[in-house]
Chain A
């Protein structure tokens, strides 16, 4: 029978629960500010012994014992997606599940951000994890980070003194390190994408299981002109370097060319030189390097197919 209202004689149970939860017995305060201003004041007050919590998926699993204060930022009104087909603003505490199911994002840029969000762990994880946390945690394998790099995203960061915009390419200082310092990430801005209907987008992820962290992920975006030549290209990769990275040499190599298997091979070779993966329990550096090439080619092939589709749709409309 279920214990519906289980107020059992508590004494011993309570004691054992305390013993079980040694991870967070050192937390002295849990702050839940209701405004950004309040949150910033608190963050300044708690300093290095404080930590920001949103979805808590990283904080709860890392269990850093030096932390004494937690500042919950989920009540600051930063849960929103505002956008159209030209650009997009996303609040920092918007969950992965919200990104995944957003109609705006499912259409925006081939839906790659929604697709990437849908691969971030299990449904339980995605109902908690936030896009701001995915960036601020600065894991090289963060799935939304590569997509946002490919979309030229910027982040709005506030400190008690000022508010500034930082390009995502300038945001990372190293593995699990950002330039945030004691600042608070408020918003992700996806600027207006290059105009023109012949765009192609792709997000590719390789993990061991449905809910696994990326062994390698690739986000790519391509725009081609009326003659089928590539005039804009973005290739970003995750889990193959100290931070999520743009493969700029491969991007440059694509410009001005038309799609061909030879071009994809050359782009793959360029990517191979730009990545610097490590070996860990999940995969070896060699495997990750090889897979970066494979996934890049796959991503570009998908992009190419979409640009062809876009062209034929236009042709049909005429």
Chain B
């Protein structure tokens, strides 16, 4: 059967858009936590995330150009202003709030601070998420690849050089983390171990 978003609820007054909120239940994972939210059938993912308090997801152009609303859905960057919330059913959404597990910042966040890659900060969550998706696929990107990965994230303070430097620096840190278990031992055993450590530390990849 088709999942039908927005089945009659009796309370619905669609033209005002007020009670529609109770119409549908969305099940998804956000930053590793299962969530169950009431949404309206026409809700965009951006609106739902902000309504639920994820203010790191920024509202920018709302036409999929600026990338301020970037989130990762199943590890891939998308513009949440162009995705209907209902389409996130059963998927894993990562917002900037979920990038640093616990109190320790992600190497990307550290690098952005260290390199002065943050000016007003509005584009920063999107940039970090885009960069995170890049590094998960390409641990050793070229500068051109970094620039391409950030091409969908506009910075109106015009600070592109520093973010690119920061991402390249963070890539080095990621690689150093990934290389450690392999360095400790040689032979097949260590290979298996490094694979295991990757599984044990999914945050480095997600």
What is A's interface to B at a CB cutoff of 8 Å? 2-8, 10, 13-14, 17-18, 20-34, 38, 42, 53, 55-57, 60-61, 70, 72, 74, 97, 121-125, 127-128, 209-211
29 contacts between A and B (CB under 8 A): A3-B55, A6-B52, A10-B51, A13-B53, A18-B17, A21-B42, A24-B44, A29-B5, A30-B84, A30-B86, A31-B2, A31-B3, A32-B87, A32-B89, A33-B2, A55-B82, A56-B83, A56-B87, A60-B84, A61-B82, A70-B41, A70-B84, A72-B86, A122-B64, A122-B79, A123-B148, A123-B151, A127-B76, A128-B82
B40 interface contact, C-beta 8 A: yes
Q: A7-B53, A29-B4 are in contact. Are A18 and B18 (CB under 8 A)?
A: yes
Q: How far is the CB of A63 from chain B (nearest CB, A)?
A: 9
Q: Which residues of A contact B59 (CB under 8 A)?
A: 20
Taking a contact as CB atoms under 8 Å apart, the answer to whether B96 and A97 are in contact is: no
B188 interface contact, C-beta 8 A: no
Q: Which residues of B contact A30 (CB under 8 A)?
A: 4-6, 24, 41-42, 84, 86
What is B's interface to A at a CB cutoff of 8 Å? 1-7, 12, 14-18, 20-21, 24, 31, 33, 40-44, 47, 50-56, 59, 63-65, 67, 70, 73, 76-79, 81-84, 86-87, 89, 96-98, 100, 130, 133, 148-149, 151-153
- Who on chain A is nearest to B54 by CB? A6
Taking a contact as CB atoms under 8 Å apart, the answer to whether A60 and B83 are in contact is: yes
Taking a contact as CB atoms under 8 Å apart, the answer to whether B152 and A123 are in contact is: yes
Q: Which residues of B contact A6 (CB under 8 A)?
A: 52-55, 97
Q: Which residues of A contact B55 (CB under 8 A)?
A: 3, 6
Q: How far is the CB of B24 from chain A (nearest CB, A)?
A: 7
12 further A-B pairs in the complex, CB-CB below 8 A; given A6-B52, A22-B17, A210-B148: A4-B98, A17-B51, A21-B47, A24-B43, A26-B15, A27-B6, A57-B82, A60-B64, A60-B84, A97-B76, A124-B67, A210-B151
| Interface class of chain B by DSSP | loop
Q: Which residues of A contact B77 (CB under 8 A)?
A: 123-124, 127
Give the one of A5, A17, A97, A123 with max B CB within 10 A. Answer: A123
Taking a contact as CB atoms under 8 Å apart, the answer to whether A125 and B64 are in contact is: yes
Query: Once the chains are docked, how many angstroms separate the CA of A97 from the CA of B18?
Result: 37
Taking a contact as CB atoms under 8 Å apart, the answer to whether A128 and B6 are in contact is: no
